[in-house]
Structure 1
Amino acid sequence: MSRFLSFFRFALRPRRASAQAFHPRVRAAVLLLVATGVLAACTPTYDWRTVMNNDNGYTVDLPAKPSADERQVEIGGVSMKMLMQTAEAADAVFVVGTVVLPDDQVQTQRAALEFLRTGLARNLGVAPDSHATQIPLAAGGQVLGLEMTLTGKAGPQHEKRVLYARLVAKGRHVYQAAIIASQAPPEEQIDQFFQSFKLY
């Protein structure tokens, strides 16, 4: 999986500040993608296990033992904490990122969702296409979120990347569940991950 790691390191190079709001969004995608590269070895099989993250309010099935990371991101001029759990299996990286918001106002949630949505797409050099989807709640019911399926090229070698992502806000958290790979994982593995992702 070294080709992933080299891309992540390249993406972390500092950039000059701009008057536009573009760079913070790009940094969000970079931070997510860096987190996905924390495991150095590719795992050839899927070893699913349920992870309950009580601190951040979600449960999800991951295909390997997860690693954790934490970063500060700037959204709308406000520094916020982004916590991530990542697992790697069969040449794909599975990640759940949680942005901790300063409040639960709708405008704050929307800004964070746009920050993540645009940043992911820009990192692949494609348009931030998304559509509405329902994210299940662990106690029953659903909450409205966004779904993205993107294919683009990234990194210094312009290598192909496939991204599947679900974005959703609930209370003082905005969540990003994503799979990043060089080619599409089997459909049943994609379904296992996303169908298991539930909010408290």
Structure 2
Amino acid sequence: MLRLLACAAFLAACSPAYNWRTVADPAEGYEIDLPAKPTVDERSVDIAGRPLPMHVRAAHTQGAVFAIAAIDLPRDDAQLQQSVIDALRSALARNLGTSPLERAVQVPLSAGATAPGIEIVATGAAGPAHEQRTIHAWIVGRGRHVYQAAIVAAHAPPQEQSDQFFGSLKVR
């Protein structure tokens, strides 16, 4: 019996906290690595004064949520795309009641080039309990989609985990 308990404890210690898997959504036009089996959610969100379909895959591990959201636009329209990007940026800051740090990033395309995106990092109090949260997100618009890859956690995950997540993002 003691041997069985020791073996079970050993196997539990060996189970990876981050069980990375590549998730591709050809309909939404992205590929990304998630650290656990994702949940899938679809809903309509009011962004830029209009209801738009949003598709989300989210993985929960080590007290963090790793998520990719794809917002469908009715047409390939640069002005609408920018309005949606701006709305997402504002929502991130508003959710934490803070001014986020922003910088430009290049998001890889499936075809091998890159598209300009925005990296946003914000830390602040979230929700009615005002719990400390950090949000690290990349936002990029491409064609008829705007993508937001984000990590939300009380404390940022180890850098190599963030690098795995953001470094794996590819859009069409």
Question: Structure 1 or 2: larger strand share?
Answer: 2
Residue in 2 that maps onto 1:182: 154
1:121 to 93, 96, 100: 93
Whichever of the two has the greater Rg, that structure is 2
2:121 corresponds to 1:140: no
Residue in 1 that maps onto 2:11: none
Aligned-pair Cα RMSD in Å: 1.3
C-alpha separation in 1, matches of 2:134 and 2:50 = 30
- What is the number of residues matched between the two proteins? 158
What are the superposed Cα offsets for residues 55-112 of structure 1, whole Å, 9 maximum, x if unpaired? 1001000000011001111223221101100001111000000110011111000000
Retained in 1: the 8 A contact 2:100–2:123?
no
Matches of residues 1-200 of structure 1 in structure 2 within 5 Å?
45-200=17-172
Residue in 2 that maps onto 1:37: none
Runs of 4+ in 1 over 4 A off after TM superposition: none
Matched to 1:162, the amino acid is T
Retained in 2: the 8 A contact 1:44–1:90?
no
Retained in 1: the 8 A contact 2:117–2:138?
yes
Gaps of 5+ in 2: 1-14
Residue in 1 that maps onto 2:4: none
Q: For residue 166 of structure 2, give the secondary structure of its aligned residue in structure 1.
A: helix
Gaps of 5+ in 1: 1-42
C-alpha separation in 2, matches of 1:159 and 1:44 = 27
C-alpha separation in 1, matches of 2:129 and 2:48 = 32
Q: For residue 65 of structure 2, give the secondary structure of its aligned residue in structure 1.
A: strand
Q: For residue 80 of structure 2, give the secondary structure of its aligned residue in structure 1.
A: helix
Displacement of 1:44 after TM fit?
7.6
Q: Which moved more, 1:126-135 or 1:86-95?
A: 126-135
Displacement of 1:49 after TM fit?
0.4
Q: For residue 130 of structure 1, give the secondary structure of its aligned residue in structure 2.
A: strand
C-alpha separation in 2, matches of 1:123 and 1:55 = 29
TM-score by length of 2: 0.88
TM-score by length of 1: 0.76
